[in-house]
Structure formats: structure tokens, C-alpha cells
Copies of this chain bind each other. A is one copy, B any other.
């Protein structure tokens, strides 16, 4: 049975999603494909190379979700859609989402892998751009777009990270509501104020379609 790289990679992604980084072995992957382990080395130099490719797929899929937010008609809608797409990706592909944050040393020389680094930077830049256009539109207060984007990113990632590990004790539907509620809290702040203005676009109006 002749195998192409893409078939192996596809199966490798499934294995990674099922068994995680540690559970990912060449022998298991070979069995999944109905071949023996040495056959894989005709197509990939090592386990490490395969894992790097899997991480690349994770980034590509993530970007696929995020960029759909660009269909929003204005800055406010785009940043709200980006939030919704971020949530959607993390919930639809939790292991792939985790993969985005796997420490480089664990997979080997990922730090030296330009392909992964560039994909990561592109995602970061996406958020900075969304924030900048919201500042320009007067929706967000002036400030360094990078700093503000990082705050938003941290909040979203932290929430998903905590929920994925089962520390919130909520079902998915309940968590979805809480995620948006919590994002709104970041927008409006939590300290005592007399009056608070609300962002114009309601997240409930934005329901992302499933990707793939």
C-alpha cells in the first residue's frame, strides 16, 4: 500500500488528538495506517519532524477559524467575531488548541523551526490588528494595541485552559455563555463606576459556522 505524506500526516493529527504528545509514537501511527513502523521513515525523517508538521496543521486550522472573522462589516463586529471564532476553535479542537501552547522543548527543536514561529507570529499579529482598528474606530480606549491584545489573549486563553482541565465544573453550553460574559467584563472593567457604556455589537448575534 503506497502512502503519501498527506495521508500519514492526516492520520498523525488524529493520533495526536487522541493520545497527545506523549502518547504519540511511530509504532502506534504505523498500526493505525496498517503498516509497520519502519515504513514511516521513508516519508518522515523522525518522530520529531512528524510532530512539527502536526503542530503546523494545528496553526493552519486555527488561522482558518480566525480569518473568518474578517468577514465582519466593521471593526467592532470583526473583533467580536474573532472572539467567537477563537472560542469555536478551542472547543471544536481542544487537543489542537493545546498543541498551540505546547512548550518548544517538549517537541525538540521547535524553537528553531521557522515555519511554526511564523505561524505563531501571524496569529498574534491578527489580534493586534483587530485591536488597533477598534482603537482607531473609537471603540477601545487609546493604548498600545499589542499590550491590549495580549490582555485579551491572556484572558481568553486562561479561561479555555482552565475549562479544558475541568476546573470550572460547567457544561459546554454554560461555558460558552460564561466565556462571552467574561470577555464583556474585560471590556467594561470590574471596578466600581457610576455609569458604564456597552459595546455596540452583541456577541449573541454572532454564531460562527463550523469549519471543515
Secondary structure class of chain A's binding surface, majority of residues = helix
Chain B contacts of A211 at CB under 8 A? none
Chain B contacts of A46 at CB under 8 A? none
Interface set, chain A 151-206, CB cutoff 8 A to B = 151-159, 161-162, 164-168, 178, 181-182, 185-193, 196-197, 199
Interface assignment of A209: CB less than 8 Å from any CB of chain B: no
Interface assignment of A22: CB less than 8 Å from any CB of chain B: yes
Chain B contacts of A152 at CB under 8 A? 190
B189 contacts A187, C-beta separation under 8 Å: yes
Residue of B nearest to A120 (CB): B167
B155 contacts A151, C-beta separation under 8 Å: yes
Chain B contacts of A104 at CB under 8 A? 165-166
Chain B nearest CB, measured from A110 CB (Å): 11
Task: Output the residue of A152, A164, A185, A188 with the most chain B CB within 10 A.
Answer: A185
A197 contacts B192, C-beta separation under 8 Å: yes
Chain B contacts of A190 at CB under 8 A? 140-141, 143, 148, 151-152, 186-187, 189
Residue contacts A-B, CB under 8 angstroms, 22 given: A101-B161, A102-B165, A103-B165, A111-B166, A138-B192, A139-B192, A148-B185, A148-B190, A151-B155, A151-B159, A151-B186, A154-B162, A155-B155, A155-B158, A155-B186, A158-B158, A186-B189, A187-B190, A189-B190, A191-B197, A192-B197, A193-B196
| Complex A-B, nearest 8 residue pairs according to Cβ-Cβ distance, in ascending order | A158-B158, A189-B189, A154-B158, A154-B159, A157-B158, A155-B155, A151-B182, A187-B191
Q: Which residues of A contact B (CB under 8 A)?
A: 22, 101-104, 111, 120, 124, 138-141, 143, 147-148, 150-159, 161-162, 164-168, 178, 181-182, 185-193, 196-197, 199
Given A104-B166, A191-B197, 7 further pairs, Cβ under 8 A: A22-B22, A139-B191, A150-B159, A150-B168, A153-B158, A155-B155, A158-B159
